[in-house]
Amino acid sequence: MNSMVKRLSMVAIGALVGVSMASAETELDKVMKERGLTQQDLLAAAKTYTPSGGRDKYIVFSSGGQSGQIMVYGVPSMRILKYIGVFTPEPWQGWGYDDDTKAILAEGKIRGKQITWGDTHHPAISETDGKYDGKWLVINDKANPRLAVIDLKDFVTKQIVVNPVFKSDHGGAFFTPNSEYILEACQYGAPFDNNYHPIEEYKETYRGGVTVWKFDPKIGRIQPDKSFTIEMPPYMQDLSDAGKEASYGWGFTNSFNSEMYTGGIEKGLPPMEAGMSRNDTDFLHVYNWKKLAELAKDDKNVKIINGHRVVPIDVAVKNDALFLIPEPKSPHGVDVSPDGKYIVVCGKLDTHATVYSWDKIKKAIDNKDYAGKDPYGIPILDMKKTAHCQAELGLGPLHNQYGKNWKNGEIYTSLYVDSQVVRWDYLKCKVVDRQNVNYNIGHLCGMEGKTEDPQGDYIIALNKLAIDRFNEIGPLHPQNHQLIDIRGKKMQLLYDMPVPLGEPHQAVAIRASKLKPEVRYKMGTSAFTGKTHIGKTLAGQERIVRKGNHVYVYGTMVRSHINPEHVTVNLGDTVTFYLTNLERAEDETHGFTVDLYNVHTSLEPGKTVAVTFKADKEGVFPYYCTEFCSALHLEMMGYLLVKDPNKKYVSAHKLKMAKMSKEELEKEYKKIVATNAATDKVIQSVVKFLKENHYEKYPVVANLVKDALDQYGKIPEQKKKADEAYKKGDLEKAILFENMIWQYMVKTADVGIRARDLLVKKLATPMSPAAKRGYEAYLEGGCNGCHVIGKVSSGPDLVGVLQRHENGEKWVKEWILHPEKMYDNPYIKSMTNYFNLRMPNQGMTEKQVDDIIEYLKWIDKNANLF
Ligand code: RUQ
Ligand code: CUA
């Protein structure tokens, strides 16, 4: 009862907005003064604060940087929701500690080498018609050129592919507008093959390029055998973007080393940074991926390198599918406008952003209007003839995002050196507004800001440095994601979010309403194939099977036991645990580990996984559930016993323990039987309440009831066993089975009461504002210290208190205001004696007492629910 009242309290508190304005205001003033907050701060807080149970409008997928993972958080609250294990082990999710996830990580082996870290840079969400469809997410690993695909149905990584020819990659991942392909541009020029080539032969044997990965959006998998790479000069390709609408079918990739400088500081040569930034311009690569994809299907148009199709530069050039355009010194971001008509390029070492016009580029291409050719024979288009305009933005422009009003030129650019976000007009090349950020921003994340449908609302500044923004935690600081409101005329900085996973280069945001994740797996599913797992085991099918020296355990997990509980194997055996979480209830996750064997897995409801290891240590190893999943979670365990078949073990039989007498056993048996009968009564009353109030009309409640009845349904079988044992005089066994019945009852009651509480919430009439205030006063006055609604506890039950006395409201009011005046009243005297407690004067105001009476009326109105 008590817990139910507490839960009801939560609901009421949630609704307690705007309680007595006069007192709230002074409280607010006090807090503002104490914490040194301005009106502006309060406004920012109001724009980001999300009350308990609230939801965010946008979900952000941020690269986890060198952690090799992805971080998921909500906007505007900036609350972290999940880290997704991608390229690196993530113990909570069992990522890299069970067979299934190890197999995914093994897909990321490069030349046979397992790599246990990743340098994730650019996440991308799959698109349909140039808009996010919320189905798939991909991200690249720059250090070990790989891409990973994450399924947004369960937020789990499903595939890792290794780039067969690059030695690093940066300009990926970028979906084409219907997720037909994913573009992944190389970064550091290197030979495509895996052989040694002296650096002096850089121009001849080192190459850059863009890999065009075929993606199947129906199954969410990259198809390596249908993918190809466009060979490019070793110019150090960088960020990329896919054309859309007007420029659909084309891709854009910039580069920062048209000098093809190769350094050699240790030989007295100028360093890389000097050599690579010598020219005033580098090259934007413009390529027709659509045409090249057709060409690549024909063997005569490709070279096969490392088993992968590569379209050589000359083939691309001959087919008018590859061009270069000069772009200002050492550029970084290249971002195509939502209608595909403009391509905005930022020059990190130039104060300008250059806006290219697709119309003009197309015209130059069609007219073969070239300004020249590069050393590899690629036609160069004239920069002046293809540019629309240039805007002077400030120092170190890096990346761009489009605003809701993009048709009128609204765009946002990050300035790394100036630590600013600039709002400007890319049609007129005019700066509109600036917002300082802290500090040194890299990417910026708009809400769907690079799709054909930018939402505006916010920009997140992904800052590399935090410096003085947070509490000191040693020399390595967190990164700083800052939320900026862009809805007003002036941008407003709202929130600093420390990010403890560095360095999160890029993030993408999607409307939460576009995501449709599932809450459970179909029973016995492998999360990685989506198909039935070979180890699927249902209740009653648990078994241990030996095949040679491989022992297969087909096990199940359900609150609160693992079946089987004893597994005995020989030293040197290989052991596979197939485990299925039989739960249907939302969020009833179990975990599993075997002590000392360095294995772990997470079992969300319905999931089956395999955990394999070699039993190479003799001894006794507890295995257990690693999630606190129920009141009996600690009991959710078993033993792996590893014995050496060549050893003789001395029996410990002599160490017999003292035994209970028959009478003692009989007493214990009776006690547990009585406890079970009493518990069953509670269950029956809950069931009655649920039935009378038509729980079946509320799906969430109905699901819980189904779960509870599931547990309850297991009792008869146990009862039969208990009775049989009792008849045979095996009291010890009978007690254990009765005990098991009690376990099932507790589980039934636990879920049943949760169902009832939910139902109460759905059925109770809403509180009036006065009743809400009264409820708050009731709590503030500490009334709940002695009174429990619906139950006699340290004080009388308050249900019906207004009816118990003549002129009840007046009587109760007097009693709360001046209890001492009534201590001599015979009724009060008897109550005081009974409870051995006296009602204290809590110094309530008349107004508060009036409100409390309103609250008591609300209780009476809903009396049937308590
Ligand atoms: S990067 S800070 Cu996208 Cu790797 Cu620009
Ligand atoms: Cu299952 Cu703890």
> Which H or E element spans position 400?
strand 397-402
- Quick check: 826 pLDDT over 90? no
Asked whether the beta carbons of 507 and 64 are under 8 A apart, the reply is no
Q: What is the DSSP string of 287-349?
A: EEHHHHHHHHTSGGG-EEETTEEEE-HHHHHHTT-EEEEEEESSEEEEEE-TTSSEEEEEETT
Report how far ligand 2's centroid is from the alpha carbon of 711 (Å): 16
- Predicted confidence at residue 710, as pLDDT, reads 87
Q: Residue 303 to residues 298, 299, 312, 690: CA-CA distances in angstroms?
A: 10, 8, 7, 70
- Predicted confidence at residue 345, as pLDDT, reads 97
The whole-model pTM stands at 0.81
Report the alpha-carbon distance of residue 339 to residue 406 in Å, rounded: 9
Question: Is the minimum distance from the CB of 636 to ligand 2 under 6 angstroms?
Answer: yes
Average of per-residue pLDDT values in the chain = 92
- Predicted confidence at residue 861, as pLDDT, reads 85
- Quick check: 271 pLDDT over 50? yes
Closest ligand to Cα 187: 1
In which band, very low, low, confident or very high, does the pLDDT at 657 lie, cut at 50, 70 and 90?
A: low
- Ligand 2 atom with the shortest distance to the CA of 560: 1
Question: Is the minimum distance from the CB of 625 to ligand 2 under 6 angstroms?
Answer: yes
- Predicted confidence at residue 560, as pLDDT, reads 85
- Quick check: 371 pLDDT over 80? yes
Question: Is the minimum distance from the CB of 629 to ligand 2 under 6 angstroms?
Answer: yes
Asked whether the beta carbons of 845 and 776 are under 8 A apart, the reply is no
- Predicted confidence at residue 832, as pLDDT, reads 85
In which band, very low, low, confident or very high, does the pLDDT at 12 lie, cut at 50, 70 and 90?
A: very low
**21 burial class (0-12, 13-18, 19+ CB within 10 angstroms)?**
exposed
Closest residue (by CA) to atom 1 of ligand 2? 590
- Predicted confidence at residue 1, as pLDDT, reads 36
- Predicted confidence at residue 106, as pLDDT, reads 97
pLDDT digits (tens, 9 = 90+) for 602-631: 999 999 999 999 999 999 999 999 999 988
E strands in 243-302: 250-255, 281-288
Give ligand 1 pocket residues (Cβ under 6 A). Answer: 121-122, 170, 239, 332, 398-399, 442-443, 505-506
Question: Percent of the chain at pLDDT above 70?
Answer: 96
Pocket test for ligand 1, best of 66, 330, 505 (most atoms within 8 A of CB): 505
Mean pLDDT of 563-580: 97
Question: Is the minimum distance from the CB of 627 to ligand 2 under 6 angstroms?
Answer: yes
Mean pLDDT of 734-760: 88
- Count of other CB atoms within 10 angstroms of residue 98: 23
- Helix 846-861 and helix 769-780: axis angle, to 10°? 110
- Ligand 1 atom with the shortest distance to the CA of 170: 4
- Predicted confidence at residue 208, as pLDDT, reads 97
Pocket test for ligand 1, best of 183, 332, 437 (most atoms within 8 A of CB): 332
Report how far ligand 1's centroid is from the alpha carbon of 462 (Å): 10
Does residue 181 or residue 795 have the better pLDDT?
A: 181
Question: Percent of the chain at pLDDT above 90?
Answer: 76
- Predicted confidence at residue 843, as pLDDT, reads 87
Report the alpha-carbon distance of residue 205 to residue 251 in Å, rounded: 25
- Quick check: 285 pLDDT over 50? yes
- Predicted confidence at residue 653, as pLDDT, reads 62
Pocket test for ligand 1, best of 142, 334, 399 (most atoms within 8 A of CB): 399
Least confident of 17-21, 259-263, 300-304, 809-813: 17-21
- Predicted confidence at residue 8, as pLDDT, reads 38
In which band, very low, low, confident or very high, does the pLDDT at 294 lie, cut at 50, 70 and 90?
A: very high
- Predicted confidence at residue 766, as pLDDT, reads 84
pLDDT digits (tens, 9 = 90+) for 390-440: 999 999 999 999 999 999 999 999 999 999 999 999 999 999 999 999 999
